[in-house]
């Protein structure tokens, strides 16, 4: 009897070991296959207890970006943001500009010299060499306005900027600012009973194995990426599609959730403006449109997908609401939509010469980044901001 039990036990252990060995071999083969056949890269971002997320500090690598179909050399500084290292202490005779935003500002798909941040700095130094201009890229993928406000408090102020720009992306910032409309693990803010903003508890401790796999396993990253793509396609399919998350910004329907989302966005924007002016001299709110606002064919294909929502969808509604919010506090702003539409000239999104976004649907491409830089520069020149800071620093020297 004991002999039979031992035999059964040995067979069971052998089978378990065989399963583990098979799984191990499968994972190794899968890892090698993904590394050989796929351009998938480990995540460029890491969690940060104070500012939510940042890119890998002191990172420099040339990687292939699928969206723009090109290799881009990405360099992140000591703080984990795109650009070179600069001292916290501001050099003499120097005007500093900090631009905060999400992936539209980070512009990972675009070569450094073609980004909005780089082009604005080059133009300022070429056209106004009396002083030195430094423009900082504080863009981070999936950031919200609330997270950017925390970033300003915790890090940006260390650089003592003269001008702070907050870039608000129509595509998702509205929902990203409210945790009832977005589930992404970022910093969120809310209002207490007095109507004051507070930062909600953020940092969820992740298992060390998950962090390690994210950093070193291409297969792990690939399967997560593939799963997300499939889920996204399912949500966008005609069968399951509903206007949700970022697209809710186009809904002019009254509802408790949407009304509160707008109220919260307003509070965040007003607080951002107030705190910047307590620390610096100038605040500029930059509104970046999404493809549905820019291309008529994209809008038409969007509104027909959810018949129940269609009567309430309005491409101009986000601009109207944001204009009202900004007007209450006399906040200077630049809406990039009109300038980009002028270039597009009513052409469809799929026409290459009309594209200011990658594939006419994604992030600002090289042309879109250039138009954005020129538009912001012209606004700062026309309203006297550039001359104001030249006078200040020339007088100081």
Looking at 1-5, 97-101, 166-170, 270-274, which range is the least confident one? 1-5
C-alpha to C-alpha distance for 256 and 277, rounded to whole angstroms: 32
Q: Return the percentage of the chain with pLDDT > 70, whole number.
A: 83
C-alpha to C-alpha distance for 319 and 315, rounded to whole angstroms: 8
Looking at 19-23, 95-99, 241-245, which range is the least confident one? 19-23
CB distance 286 to 336 below 8 Å: yes
Q: Which of the two residues, 20 and 390, has the higher pLDDT score?
A: 390
C-alpha to C-alpha distance for 289 and 223, rounded to whole angstroms: 31
C-alpha to C-alpha distance for 255 and 17, rounded to whole angstroms: 57
Binned at pLDDT 50, 70 and 90, residue 242 comes out as confident
Q: Which of the two residues, 181 and 15, has the higher pLDDT score?
A: 181
Alpha helical stretches, state H, the chain: 2-37, 103-106, 116-127, 145-154, 173-176, 208-216, 218-236, 256-279, 291-294, 296-303, 317-328, 337-344, 366-382, 385-396
Closest CA to 159 of 229, 114, 98: 98
Q: What is the pLDDT of residue 350?
A: 97
**Which two structure tokens, joined as six digits, stand for 160?**
């003592």
| End-to-end Cα separation, the chain, in angstroms | 97
C-alpha to C-alpha distance for 118 and 137, rounded to whole angstroms: 8
Place of tokens 């409309």: 181
Q: pLDDT, tens digit, for every residue of 165-178?
A: 999 999 999 999 99
In eight-state DSSP terms, residue 82 is B
Q: Return the percentage of the chain with pLDDT > 90, whole number.
A: 75
Most confident of 112-116, 206-210, 231-235, 238-242: 112-116
Residue 348 sits at the vertex; the CA angle it makes with 306 and 301, to the nearest 5 degrees, is: 10
pLDDT of 74 > 60? The answer is yes
Look at residue 222 and give its three-state secondary structure: helix
Binned at pLDDT 50, 70 and 90, residue 213 comes out as low
CB distance 155 to 79 below 8 Å: yes
For residues 76-80, give the mean pLDDT: 98
Binned at pLDDT 50, 70 and 90, residue 11 comes out as confident
Q: What is the pLDDT of residue 41?
A: 64
How many C-alpha atoms does 144 have within 13 Å on its Cβ side?
27
pLDDT of 136 > 50? The answer is yes
The contacts of residue 151 (CB under 8 Å, 6+ apart) are 51, 52, 100, 138, 140, 143
**pTM assigned to the model:** 0.86
Q: What is the pLDDT of residue 233?
A: 55
Look at residue 48 and give its three-state secondary structure: strand
Q: pLDDT, tens digit, for every residue of 345-395?
A: 999 999 999 999 999 999 999 999 999 999 999 999 999 999 999 999 987
What average pLDDT does the chain have? 89
Q: What is the pLDDT of residue 205?
A: 43
**Which two structure tokens, joined as six digits, stand for 130?**
């009396």
Closest CA to 290 of 362, 232, 182: 362
Q: pLDDT, tens digit, for every residue of 277-304?
A: 999 999 999 999 999 999 999 999 999 9
**Which two structure tokens, joined as six digits, stand for 285?**
């709110």
Q: Which of the two residues, 41 and 305, has the higher pLDDT score?
A: 305
Helix axis angle, 218-236 relative to 2-37, nearest 10°? 70
pLDDT of 207 > 50? The answer is no
Dihedral class, residue 50 (left if φ above 0, else alpha if ψ from -120 to 50, else beta):
alpha
């Amino acid at each position: 009897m004991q002999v039979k039990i031992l035999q059964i036990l040995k067979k069971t252990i052998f089978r378990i070991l065989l399963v583990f060995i098979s799984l191990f071999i499968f994972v190794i083969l899968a890892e090698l296959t993904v590394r050989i056949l796929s351009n998938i890269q480990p995540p460029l971002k890491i969690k940060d207890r104070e500012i939510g997320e940042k890119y890998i500090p002191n990172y420099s690598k040339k990687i292939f970006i699928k969206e723009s179909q090109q290799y881009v050399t990405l360099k992140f500084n000591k703080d984990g943001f795109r650009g070179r290292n600069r001292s916290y202490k501001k050099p003499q005779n120097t005007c500093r500009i900090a631009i905060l935003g999400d992936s539209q500002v980070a512009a990972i798909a675009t070569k450094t010299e073609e980004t909005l941040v780089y082009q604005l700095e080059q133009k300022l130094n070429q056209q106004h060499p009396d002083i030195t201009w430094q423009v900082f890229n504080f863009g981070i993928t999936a950031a919200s306005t609330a997270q950017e406000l925390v970033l300003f408090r915790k890090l940006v102020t260390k650089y003592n900027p003269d001008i702070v720009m907050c870039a608000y992306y129509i595509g998702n910032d509205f929902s990203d600012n409210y945790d009832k409309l977005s589930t992404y693990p970022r910093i969120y803010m809310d209002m207490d009973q007095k109507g004051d903003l507070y930062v909600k508890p953020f940092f969820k401790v992740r298992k060390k194995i998950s962090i390690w796999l994210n950093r070193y396993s291409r297969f792990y990253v690939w399967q997560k990426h593939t799963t997300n793509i499939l889920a996204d396609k399912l949500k966008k399919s005609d069968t399951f599609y509903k206007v949700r998350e970022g697209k809710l910004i186009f809904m002019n329907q009254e509802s408790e959730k949407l009304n509160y989302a707008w109220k919260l966005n307003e509070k965040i924007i007003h607080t951002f403006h107030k705190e910047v002016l307590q620390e610096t001299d100038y605040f500029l709110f930059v509104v970046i449109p999404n493809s549905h606002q820019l291309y008529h064919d994209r809008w038409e294909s969007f509104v027909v997908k959810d018949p129940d929502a269609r009567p309430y969808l309005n491409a101009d509604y986000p601009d109207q609401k944001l204009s009202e919010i900004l007007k209450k506090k006399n906040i200077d702003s630049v809406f990039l939509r009109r300038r980009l539409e002028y270039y597009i000239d009513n052409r469809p999104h799929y026409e290459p010469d009309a594209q200011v976004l990658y594939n006419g649907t994604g992030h600002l491409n090289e042309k879109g980044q250039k138009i954005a830089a020129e538009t912001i520069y012209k606004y700062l020149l026309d309203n006297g901001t550039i001359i104001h800071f030249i006078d200040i620093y020339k007088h100081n020297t």
